[in-house]
Chains A and B, each alone.
Chain A
Amino acid sequence: MAHVVLKDLVKTYGGFKAVNEVSLTVNDGEFVALVGPSGCGKTTTLNLVAGLTSVTSGDIVIGDRVVNDLDPKDRDIAMVFQNYALYPQKSVYMNLAFPLQMRKLPRDEIDRKVREAARVLDMTQLLERKPRELSGGQQQRVALGRALVRDPAVFLMDEPLSNLDAKLRVQMRSEIKRFHQDLKATIIYVTHDQLEAVTMADRMAVMNGGYLQQYDSPAQVFAHPVNMFVASFVGSPAMSLIPLEASTANGDAVLTSAEGWSLALSEANARKIQGATTRKIVLGARHSTIKLHKSAVAGAIPAKAYTVEPTGDVTFVQAFLSGAIVNISVSPKIAVAPDEQIWLEFDQERMHLFDGETEMALRAN
């Protein structure tokens, strides 16, 4: 196992910058998820680490070697692909044996390692089958087996669960997490699904437009998103972002809406908005931090319920505030009807404030 360091990594295609000065360190044995919407540069970053794409500038270090100019085969990595990339003409056994054959291991050692990997992944009875005779989940497992049979320094995984159905995805998610815990493997895992990143990774690197937005533990990213993009990308349903304007009323800082209502800010929050470059402030609130009242309460904002979505455990209510959709989760015991008048109370402690111009989170100094 080894650590991986990306230093000011840049990849351009023609004039298009796919990866833009990305720097991050993956510690030995750490599970890092690269997450972002499609086209954000996460897969390109992974391909750069794998050596499948050449680096425009910057450095990639695996272990203690700069691997920029090394062939993929010399980087001591293994990769699991979204479409599994199992060799269709080879049996499962030969698929698992291929990386070992390429390294010219003696035949009996190959046999021992292949059977060991098959035993670990519980697919000894599948060894003679061809990939097309396997189910999606089994193919996924073979792909995982082909990666682990070699005991590489780093595992690279490119959306390995995207082709599975929802139920299997949840199951394989915990298997991969277990796999990481057992092997203490260094894993770089690319996904567009923030839920996978949050549930599996030790740290997640949120990317957008080729830039690394935030690199931290899922809990930190969730609790302290650095900007509006991260805030809206991580968490489901997404954080509600309400555009407002900073002003004062009777000497106290308030956020006023174009709709006429205003929201008084706590002292701590008032200090935060002093750091803003503009009077435009975006209020961010997660569904669980907004309290729904069915009658007027001091400090609560009046709104109308738009849709009501019961999910069993919780009911999600959507409302419009200042032209933005606001998600609120309530106990299923509280009956809310569409178009019903409701009052929303924001939790001052857990609300997020963003600069309306730079879209960066406002922090207390």
Chain B
Amino acid sequence: MSTIAETASRDQIRRRQRVDGWRWAGRLFLVFMLLYTALPMVWMLSTSIKSGFAAMQFSPQLWPDQPTLASYQKLLDPQNSVGQDFLRFFWNSLIVSTATTILSVIVAVPAAYAFSRFTFPGRNFLFFAVLLRNMFPAVIFLVPLFILMRAIGLVNTHGSLVLTYLTFGLPLAIWLLKGFYDNIPVQLEQAARIDGATRFQAFMLIVMPLSTPGIIATAIYSFIGAWNEYIYAYTFLSKNEQLTLPVGIQRFFSENTTDFPGLMAASFMMSVPVVVLFLLLQRYFVRALTEGAVKH
């Protein structure tokens, strides 16, 4: 008897050791990934607070002897021409991304709900068609969309970008949200309708609150997509005062090749909204997964 127990416990120990081995390998991998993603950010931040001279110094310092916020002051100073440009680009990006986000939620919520709840002729075809757009690299549509935008007179407007970003963002938004609605039991709406709600009330009072995490996650996703987009903004816009941040910074780069701290400060500030939103996104994804908004 005792030998059986001993073998069993030895087995257990061996199993635990093997699991621990994997766990450590996983941790090591995560640390590596963390350094891989975080180090460029750290480098960007550290360069942005260096003086122009310190930035070119060899060997480079990880942390400057005399940190300075001069680059940030320059970028955020509306009196200065660099500052004017930067703030305008920032504002343009904000407008384009916000408009894209709002429109994408307004369209994606009812569309996803319809795909999830209703059967109608061509439903599967349409759903596939929605995804079809995302199966091609974005560049493929660059020239056709440019010709289209020129034909309808939208070149050099922010509208052209919003429309284009919707074609990227919407399919995924619809897809994500449909998953959310699929997970909300239809009986909840049926119960609400029997309890005295109209179909629309059932949607607004019962389904919408339950899908808030999904809606917020999709909204943030759309926002980040629009915020970071470069190639379409570069193609569709040519007037300086309309440029969005990614294009603006690129231009900045070619005009001020030597001002590395300024460049890094601009890049850092551009990444701030994305990082903040990503933190929020993560929070909502976790909330959506753990809170069990919908329990079967």
Chain A interface (Cβ < 8 Å from any Cβ of B): 50-52, 71-73, 75, 77-79, 81-83, 85, 87-89, 98-99, 102-103, 131-132, 146, 150
Contacts and interface: CB of A to CB of B under 8 A. Distances in A.
B187 interface: yes
Interface string B185-211: 101101111111110010000100110
A103 B293 contact: no
Contacts of B209: 89
Most chain B beta-carbon neighbours within 10 Å: one of A72, A78, A82, A89: A72
Nearest to B185: A83
Nearest to B195: A99
A83 B187 CA distance: 8
Contact of B194 (A50, A103, A131): A50
Contact of B195 (A51, A73, A83): A73
Contacts of B292: 88, 132
Nearest to B189: A85
B210 A88 contact: yes
A77 B194 contact: yes
Nearest to A163: B296
Interface in B144-191: 185, 187-188, 190-191
7 cross-chain pairs, A with B, having the tightest CB-CB distances, nearest first: A102-B196, A99-B195, A85-B187, A85-B191, A72-B193, A73-B196, A81-B187
Contacts of A150: 195
Contacts of B190: 50, 52, 72, 79, 81, 85
A79 B191 contact: yes
A52 B210 CA distance: 21
B25 interface: no
Contacts of A78: 194-195
A182 B193 CA distance: 27
B194 A73 contact: yes
Contacts of A99: 195-196
Nearest to B296: A83
Interface in B115-155: none
A78 B195 CA distance: 7
A71 B200 CA distance: 12
Contact of B201 (A50, A82, A89, A102): A102
B120 to A, nearest CB: 14
B295 interface: yes
Interface residues of B, number: 21
B69 interface: no
B161 to A, nearest CB: 36
Nearest to B209: A89
B193 A71 contact: yes
Most chain A beta-carbon neighbours within 10 Å: one of B194, B209, B294, B296: B194
Given A79-B190, A81-B187, A132-B295, A87 B196 contact: no
Most chain A beta-carbon neighbours within 10 Å: one of B191, B210, B293: B191
Contact of A88 (B196, B201, B294): B294
A85 B185 contact: yes
A88 B198 contact: no
A73 B197 contact: yes
A98 to B, nearest CB: 5
A102 B194 CA distance: 10
A73 B193 contact: yes
A102 B195 contact: yes
B193 A52 contact: yes
B192 A98 contact: yes
Contacts of A88: 188, 210, 292-295
Most chain B beta-carbon neighbours within 10 Å: one of A88, A89, A150: A88
Given A88-B210, A102-B197, A131-B295, 5 more contacts: A72-B193, A82-B187, A88-B188, A99-B196, A146-B191
19 contacts: A51-B193, A52-B193, A73-B195, A73-B197, A75-B194, A79-B191, A79-B194, A81-B191, A82-B187, A85-B188, A88-B188, A88-B292, A89-B209, A98-B195, A99-B196, A102-B197, A132-B292, A132-B295, A150-B195
Contacts of A146: 191, 195
B244 to A, nearest CB: 38
A89 B184 CA distance: 12
Contacts of B196: 73, 99, 102-103
Contact of A71 (B198, B206, B210): B198
B42 to A, nearest CB: 41
Contacts of B197: 73, 102
Most chain B beta-carbon neighbours within 10 Å: one of A77, A85, A87: A85
Nearest to A13: B119
A75 B193 CA distance: 10
B209 to A, nearest CB: 5
B294 to A, nearest CB: 6
Given A71-B198, A102-B197, A89 B210 contact: yes
Contacts of A50: 190, 194
A87 B193 CA distance: 12
A72 B295 contact: no
